[in-house]
A and B are shown apart, each in its own frame.
Chain A
Amino acid sequence: MKSLNRLFTRVLNFTARRRGGERLREEMESHIAIQTEEGIRAGMTPEEAHRRARLKFGAVEAVREDYHAEESLPFVDNLLLDIRYALRVLRRSPVFTVVALLTLMLGVGANIVVFGVLNAILLQPFGVSEPQSLYQLRHKQWMSGRLLTTSYPAFEDFRRRNTTFIGIAGVYGYSHAALSWRNAVRNLHGDEVTGNYFDLLGVQPQIGRFFHAVDEHGPDSAPYVVLSDALWRSSFQADRGVIGTTVELSKHPFTVVGVAPAEFHGMERFVWPDYWIPMVNERQVEEGDYLHSRTSIAVTVIGRLKPGVTPRRATENLNAIAAELAKEYPTTDDGLPLRLIHPGLWGDEGDVIRGFLYSVTVLALLVLMAACANLATLFAARTADRSRELAVRVALGSSRRRLVRQLLTEAVAVSLMGGAAGLVGAGLLLGALNRWPRAAEVHLAANVDARVYLAGLLLTLGSALLFGMVPARQAWQSSPLQMMKSGPADAMRLRRFALRDLLLGAQIAICTLLVTASLVAMRGMVRVLHAPLGIQPQGAMLVDLDLSRVEPAGGATVEKKKALIEAVQSIPGVTAVGTVNRAPFTGGMHGIPIFRPGATEFKLNNSVLAPYVFTMSPGYLEAAGSRLLGGRDVSWHDTARTPPVAVVNETFARKMWGETPAIGQHFIVWGHLTEVVGVAADGKYHDMQEAPQPVAYLPLSQNDQNETVFVVRSLRTPREMAAALERTLRGIEPNAPMTVQSWPDALRGELLPARAATVALGVMGLLAAMLAVTGIFGMAAYSVSRRMRELGIRVALGARRVQVMRAAVGRPMVLLAVGSAVGLLSGVFASRLLGRIVYQANPRDPVVLGGAVLTMALLGIAASAIPARRALTVDPSKLMREE
């Protein structure tokens, strides 16, 4: 209580800038006056009495200092003094300050950007309660790229029989519907979920209510829709009155019951649904009924574990159920083992994404460490130059602790300013990243929130300590006597240089590692980008025409589509046109089971291949730029009345029949014995990184599907073509929702992850290279300027240019060589890390190794050229006169 009172008074004194200086002065005066009077009374002369009184009082300054220390907060006072002094010192050497600030800005900024993205992708909460007990069920091997887990009847069985989950909810995340409200039609995508979904996740509606398990009474019994916050704001103008009104989804009436909170976007981080509807009503928006078929694998399963149940026990329980189901339904259920994963990042893509983010974080921290080593060198050099000043201060009675604090304050001041600049830069960069064009349905909002600020502050202070310790240590160990005697450049230097050498060496090693990493990444990426896509996006347009909305149930007929294709064909400038159910890189039918002729049991684990299956019109392959290697394209003469045919790609053919020619062979897909009539070249279908995938193209005329994407190749510019296409198609189908875009534009979003990875690693490499340059330059320039006199003497004594050069920049060069070697070696050993970041990364690649060596050598030469020139142009006579 007492000390608290005192602290309060002190803080009050400090903030009010109230100084008892006046009172103390008066008290001291009266003290001395009274004593003087006493002295005079005792018979001394007034002068003598006054002198004695002052002597007896003691050192006035010391008393005043003590008094002041008692009165206020000396620590804060000193800190303010230190900061003012630090700023003055920094302003006095602007070049040094700017270099230090830039270095820190880049180092801290890079880390904040990386952390911002990591924060957005991995750390943002889902807006659900207790997310750590939520798991997603996945198959062990089957369909590695898909989220779907099981059929709806099997989901019901799992729900009833499991003993380890509080509850499990089913989600179908690929729901698409046309929303009509007040004469406006919008194409939306959303989630079809089981009734317990919201209750299981523990989400509360923003307004209205959610639907619950009790609302479900069999198929089509719950025509309710929950809107996302974004949809509510964009399409319903955030009108609270929308609750209870009826909207149409795919021409079926649904009642709006509630709006989800703004922070809840379903359980996938990148795909935010526009709406949620009960799964029991799925038939009204989907084309088929998946609720009653044990073979349509349409449900993604999210479960919440009971408290105390380990994921392992839950997995065992689920697998036992899967085995039971396989026994009970031998023709449909395959009993494939299940496992639990953390939801949110496209199923197993999560491992890749997490690995990438953590690896980039490590690289970013390495950049910061290199920056700190750089700054430590700079600061150490400056402290060495200021050693005389420091020595004088110690000699005058300044405590070492005070000196160290002063130096640390300088470091912290620099790093705070640099960190602030880095934060601002990072904020701008993240903002730009958020506006980056990407596939319309993909969400990534990397905002600068409290966590990012905190990370930035910690990084800044951490680096201040890292690079501030070096000069502080120097000051702590310095002996004033020696420093005064010997001047700045003498015996002490050897030791100091040893530390500086180590710092520069470490910095160069880190930089080499980073340069190697970014070269590896670039090369891997170049390889990926030049890998055959199997398509020629350049010069092609995509038209997404949704005919299901305007046609009666069953969709557009083949004749209709044929007519549309012919209409597009007749547009001047069009060289080829065709349709496909889904353009490559936009998802699609992955993992359709293929069986050998003669197979009788159509269970998943009897299938021989799980290819992508595209349904295309004749001419699609030509329009898309996919080469037909042999056989023929499908034709309009392949109809429901002729035998089913297919074109397959090379991988499909090789996996099914090896070296045997594929044309004329048969396989079973969707229960039809199908003949291979053509073989197309391989390509990429889902993402750039995928291994060669088997693909089967089925003719539209035999497997009609509602989804239709026109691929139009033409000689005209995309803008002209878009207008012409819109005009032509609108003339025939005025009411069908339609999107027209050039194929390269459509692909840009797909290439984003690969490009972002390359850019990220490239930037890291660039930063590292810049740090290496400034580091080597600083070291060489410093050593040249310190040894000017020595060099002058050498020149005067007739040293040759080579010898002068060696003396001047020899040490940095040796460090460069050693550091680079260490960095390269660690790069080779870190190949596993790099392999996780980029596809086809190989640090042992001679091009990469050569490139890294060449880069470092060039950097070294560039950085030491100026100091070396200075050393060569030393004019001994001038120098000697100067000192």
Chain B
Amino acid sequence: MKQKKDVQQGTLALMVLKTLDVLGPLHGYGIARRIEQISGDLLSVNQGTLYPVLLKLEQEGAIASDWGPSENNRRARFYRLTRAGHKLLEAERRDWEQTAAIIARFFEVKAQDLA
């Protein structure tokens, strides 16, 4: 269990959305890099799995992409959040907070509370 896990696709999608929300347009490597930083090496291997997720989000209309120059003048594809993506992020965030709150309450419960 100590091993770094393969990130669930849905979770990864949510992280992508949030990253783009906070940092604005980024290319694939940039997104992977930020997620790795924030999540603490969660995405330090298998960064390639990001690309199918990006494609999926793009096909759903949550993000859009265009070719552009990277920091060191390389051609890279930049992704940005669309209006639909904002909405999706908002909805997903609420869902997560709800779930997290419920789970948190379960962990706080002690035997005497249920008596």
What CA separation (Å) do A69 and B53 show in the bound complex?
A: 11
The answer to whether A26 touches B48 (Cβ under 8 A) is: no
Indicate whether A66 reaches chain B with its CB closer than 8 angstroms. Answer: yes
Q: Mark B17-51, 1 if CB is under 8 A from A, else 0.
A: 00000000001110010000000000011111101
Q: Which of B49, B72, B77 contacts A27 (CB 8 A)?
A: B77
Within 8 A of B (CB), among A1-24: 2, 5-6, 9-10, 20, 23-24
Q: Mark A48-64, 1 if CB is under 8 A from B, else 0.
A: 00000001111110110
- Of A33-41, A171-179, A450-458, the one contacting chain B is A33-41
Given contacts A56-B45, A58-B48, A69-B52, contact A31 B59 (CB under 8 A): no
What CA separation (Å) do A734 and B104 show in the bound complex?
A: 111
**Chain A residues within 8 Å of B45, by CB:** 55-56, 58
| Closest chain B CB from A440 CB (angstroms) | 67
What CA separation (Å) do A59 and B46 show in the bound complex?
A: 7
The answer to whether A6 touches B46 (Cβ under 8 A) is: no
A-B contact count (CB 8 A): 78
What CA separation (Å) do A57 and B32 show in the bound complex?
A: 10
The answer to whether A5 touches B55 (Cβ under 8 A) is: no
Q: Which of A9, A10, A66, A71 contacts B49 (CB 8 A)?
A: A66
The answer to whether A27 touches B61 (Cβ under 8 A) is: no
Indicate whether B93 reaches chain A with its CB closer than 8 angstroms. Answer: no
Q: Which of A23, A30, A55, A69 contacts B29 (CB 8 A)?
A: A30
The answer to whether A31 touches B32 (Cβ under 8 A) is: yes
The answer to whether A35 touches B29 (Cβ under 8 A) is: yes
What CA separation (Å) do A20 and B56 show in the bound complex?
A: 12
The answer to whether B60 touches A59 (Cβ under 8 A) is: no
Centre residue among A31, A59, A60 by max chain B CB count within 10 A: A31
Q: Which of B47, B52, B59, B61 contacts A66 (CB 8 A)?
A: B52
Residue ID in chain A nearest B48 by CB atoms:
A63
**Chain A residues within 8 Å of B75, by CB:** 26, 30
Residue ID in chain A nearest B53 by CB atoms:
A70
Q: Which of B32, B51, B70 contacts A67 (CB 8 A)?
A: B51
**Chain A residues within 8 Å of B74, by CB:** 30, 33-34
**Chain B residues within 8 Å of A60, by CB:** 48
What CA separation (Å) do A667 and B77 show in the bound complex?
A: 110
Indicate whether B14 reaches chain A with its CB closer than 8 angstroms. Answer: no
Residue ID in chain B nearest A66 by CB atoms:
B52
Indicate whether B64 reaches chain A with its CB closer than 8 angstroms. Answer: no
**Chain B residues within 8 Å of A56, by CB:** 44-47
Footprint of A on B, CB under 8 Å? 27-29, 32, 44-49, 51-52, 55-56, 59-61, 70, 72, 74-77
- Apart from A34-B74, A63-B48, what are 5 other A-B pairs with CB-CB below 8 Å? A2-B60, A28-B51, A33-B74, A35-B29, A59-B46
In order of increasing CB-CB distance, the 7 nearest A-B pairs are A58-B46, A63-B48, A66-B52, A58-B48, A31-B29, A67-B52, A34-B29
Selected A-B contacts with CB under 8 Å, 22 pairs? A2-B60, A2-B61, A26-B77, A27-B27, A27-B51, A27-B77, A30-B27, A30-B29, A30-B70, A30-B74, A30-B75, A31-B29, A31-B32, A34-B29, A55-B45, A56-B44, A57-B47, A58-B46, A63-B51, A63-B52, A70-B52, A70-B56
